[in-house]
Amino acid sequence: MPSSSIPAFGVGTFRLQDQAAIDSVRNALDLGYRLVDTAQIYGNEAAVGQAIADSGVPRDALFITTKVWTENLAADKLIPSLKDSLSKLRTEQVDLALIHWPSPGGAVPVAEFMGALAEAKAQGLAAQIGVSNFTVALMQDAIDAVGAGAIATNQIELHPYLQNRAVAEFARSQGIHITSYMTLAYGKVLGDPVVEAIAQAHGATPAQVALAWALQLGYAVIPSSTRRENLASNLKAQQLRLSDAEMAQIAALDRGGRLVDPEGLAPHWD
């Protein structure tokens, strides 16, 4: 499948637990979202699985992404951990399985975990595979291991304050799709005067502007919310078109404002 087979708009579930996760996913599916993004470390795969089962939306209409945690990257652990995820999600296959973070300190070689992930795909546990939080050098290692064509996406922190251009441009050169997480920068960009002015000009919300900006650059987005009205509002970003001048104004907001940089886990960023 080509990387473009990843839906452009999905709902994220980071930090959502138990009933909050169930309600958010149920509301999202009810509103028309079809991509749901979770991860082993979120501790909510079972809640997501329940929400999906309760939704009545047919499995083949959905796109489910999960991410393999660093403790499960060794060749003997990756596939069993993914099977456990599938059991919690109540599905025989995820549409996309990602390596959540590179192995801290390179403890498990990239070739080992990418090989195991490719084997998981070969076994039918995942329709597509990819990576998350990978630098240019790590993407190159992953490409060397399984080929660029096998890597559907690199899911990275990317928002107006951290535009991650080196990684995005390298990915594009290799035909690897970018998924932007934290597109609203934990809400920090929503009060930005430039974003607010563009929103006002369009009769839109600042969140819609930030999401539309990422979509127009060709990235997939996975914003999360516990509020149904925000989930509904975010979806409308898909109808918003920004002018070249507005895109340039947002491009100028880049300030290297990284928000996700966990000690002991983060690689040496580009």
Q: Nearest 5°: phi and psi at 259?
A: -105, -25
Both tokens assigned to 204: 């839109």
- Taking every pair of Cα atoms in the chain, the longest distance, rounded to a whole number of angstroms, is 54
Question: Do residues 237 and 208 make contact, with C-beta atoms less than 8 angstroms apart?
Answer: yes
CA atoms lying within 13 Å on the CB side of residue 258: 13
Known catalytic membership, residue 161: no
Across the chain, where does the E strand assignment appear? 10-12, 35-37, 63-68, 94-99, 126-132, 151-157, 177-181, 220-221
163 CB contacts (<8 Å, ≥6 apart)?
251, 254
Q: Which two tokens stand for residue 240?
A: 């918003």
Rounded-to-integer distance, Cα 185 and Cα 177, Å? 20
CB 108, CB 73: distance < 8 Å: yes
Phi, psi of 159 (to 5 degrees): -155, 175
Q: Of the listed 33, 42, 161, 181, which one is catalytic?
A: 42
Answer yes or no: is 100 a known binding residue: yes
Find the angle CA(24)-CA(26)-CA(27) to the nearest 5 degrees.
Answer: 65
**In 10 A of CB 123, how many CB atoms?**
12
Binding residues: 100
Binding residues for substrate: 100
| Residues assigned a catalytic role | 42
